Structure 1
Amino acid sequence: MPWPKLWSSSTKDEGASPETIATKANRTWESTTAIVSEAAGSVQRNTAEAVPAQFKAFTQPETIVAAVVLSATSFGLYRFYRSYLRRIPQAINISPGYLGRRSLVGQVTSVGDGDNFRMYHTPGGRLAGWGWLPWRRVPTEKKALKDQTIHVRLAGIDAPEMAHFGRPSQPYAQEALDWLTAYLVGRRVRTYVYKADQYSRVVGTVYVWKKLWRRDVGLQMLKAGYATIYEAKTGVEFGRAKEERYRRAEWWAKVRRKGMWAGKQPDYESPREYKNRHGVGAPKEETKQ
């Protein structure tokens, strides 16, 4: 079928009246519409004839809607798994999107020093089967824990330094290590992560359940007198509105002569002063699990 002639090459139309031009345009539009309708009908008939009967169900609106809903649900479940149920093996694997926004649940496997420890990430906690499903157990062997734990540095506090690399330990360093070990090892904790440091650790506020109460581990260590406020010119992280509480806890421990404040000497040296004097730049010695 020939295409309608939209414009005439003859010069006799140049002087035509507006009514004549409108009439021609209307006829052209009607002709074009008829051609398009005929073509669309032909395509629809050919498509219907080309699709086998057994596949016609897949072209029904109900089938298409169900497929879209199923795809959206599967994608949503996958996103939920990656965000909340995927296990993170080490601190270096924590996504930047977690920092300052999310928390991690896990079981403490070891304490390396008075202010840091390692935990095995158990996403979802007991609700996700950790601790009671046979395939969701926290390993206990060193070989199984290798490269599978998150190294956590307690935010806002500093414990006395242990003896490392030929340097002597500070007074009460062993007591601080023993206190944190007894307080955390084998227990489930929740860590609110703020940032990663240069030693492949994540800095965060840590909570543990003691009987019916959730305890801030850093705050409790300050109250016990086995840690001081972390003092540095820059980069100190306390979490949300915790600095004042931490400073009050340190003051309270000093007044009550708790922990290392019980036998404080005139030549007392804080952990920060000790590290500055010895030029400590390497990470503290700690267990590898």
Structure 2
Amino acid sequence: MRWPPWASNSPPQQQSDNEPHNASSSIFSSTSSSSSSQNDHNKPILDWRAFTEARTLLPTAILTTAILSIVHIRRRYLRRFPDAISISPKYLRQRSLLGQVTSVGDGDNFRIFHTPGGRLAGWGWLPWKKVPTARKELRDNTIHVRLAGIDAPELPHFGRPEQPFAREAHTWLTSYLMNRRVRVYIHRHDQYQRAVGSVCVRRALDFPIPFRRRDVSYEMLKRGLATVYEAKVGAEFGGEEMERKYRKAEWWAKLRGKLESPREYKTRMGALEANGNGHGGRK
């Protein structure tokens, strides 16, 4: 090691009697330097052999695998859907959605704000993962969910009066789900671009077993607040076993009182409107 660092690499001059030897050494050194410079010039600028060494390949493989895994998990489990139309067909009958209920429109449908990953992904406690509460922020940013397998009494709309027990069904569903996290098992989309699915909820004050998973459709049927969905096409229960379970619950509910199904109600109101239009025409 030379000292100080800025000192020349050449050794100090020897005495005059060694000068011929030093001159011959200098000539040999300059010749060697010229040949080594020419060899360096012929070498490639980038040595590709360094990229085939294990110490380079192993970290590169680990980093690439980690990045691809994060992208895969993000797209498969942490992708947020803003509305029902955006839900990928891969989710139908295969996957479920976790979200917070933001509004209840009727006795058998409501809207959720999709929160993929739930609290484990930071929803509810990270500052940038808060469920909005303003109506302006929720517009076009929620999934419209239709409860599978049931039909609740109709609230007043299209000029028709409300069906008996419609207000009770809407009030119960609102108190049962509003601002709660629910899991929706998507079956399909209906003609109104809603996500038809089986909905489950867990409640801390659920007696006798807290946080027990409850099927919302089944709970409404047991309480006599809905009937089994009846239609020529488009009925969805999530399987034959669930259909049998729903029909059994409806049977017990009907023993406690007569509940006109929404289908019967619509048929009756349609007949009344047709008769009214007919009388109006004769007048």
Above 0.5 in TM-score? Answer: yes
Q: Which residue of 2 aligns with 1:140?
A: 133
Matched residues in 1 for 2:126 and 2:260: separation? 49
Larger radius of gyration: 2
Q: CA deviation digits over 1:73-117, x for unaligned, max 9? A: 211210111111111110000000000000000000000000000
Q: CA deviation digits over 1:119-147, x for unaligned, max 9? A: 00011111111111221111110001011
Matched residues in 1 for 2:92 and 2:269: separation? 31
Q: Which structure 2 residues correspond to residues 83-102 of structure 1 after superposition, within 5 A?
A: 83-102=76-95
- Whether 1:112 and 2:105 are equivalent positions in the alignment is yes
Closer, same or farther: CA 63–269 of 1 in aligned 2, 3 Å: same
Q: Which residue of 1 aligns with 2:213?
A: 214
Q: Point out which structure has higher relative CO (alpha carbons under 8 A, 6+ apart).
A: 1
* Partner-residue secondary structure (3-state), 1:174: helix
Q: Which residue of 1 aligns with 2:115?
A: 122
User: What runs of 5+ residues in structure 1 fail to find an aligned partner?
Assistant: 1-45, 280-289
Q: Which structure 2 residues correspond to residues 18-97 of structure 1 after superposition, within 5 A?
A: 49-52=43-46, 57-97=50-90
* Partner-residue secondary structure (3-state), 1:160: coil
Normalised by the length of structure 1, the TM-score is: 0.73
Q: Which residue of 2 aligns with 1:224?
A: 223
User: What runs of 5+ residues in structure 2 fail to find an aligned partner?
Assistant: 1-39, 205-209, 271-283
* Partner-residue secondary structure (3-state), 1:178: helix
Q: Which residue of 2 aligns with 1:40?
A: none
- Whether 1:273 and 2:272 are equivalent positions in the alignment is no
Contact 2:226 2:261 in 1 (8 A): no
Q: Give the superposed CA RMSD.
A: 2.1
Q: Which structure 2 residues correspond to residues 145-160 of structure 1 after superposition, within 5 A?
A: 145-160=138-153
Residue type of the alignment partner of 2:44: A
* Partner-residue secondary structure (3-state), 1:50: coil
Q: CA deviation digits over 1:187-243, x for unaligned, max 9? A: 000000000111110000000102321110000001111000001122211113201
Paired residues, number: 224
Matched residues in 2 for 1:275 and 1:49: separation? 87
Closer, same or farther: CA 269–220 of 1 in aligned 2, 3 Å: closer
Matched residues in 2 for 1:140 and 1:94: separation? 22
Matched residues in 1 for 2:135 and 2:82: separation? 14
- Whether 1:199 and 2:192 are equivalent positions in the alignment is yes
Normalised by the length of structure 2, the TM-score is: 0.74
Deviation at 1:61, TM superposition (A): 3.7
Matched residues in 2 for 1:276 and 1:99: separation? 31
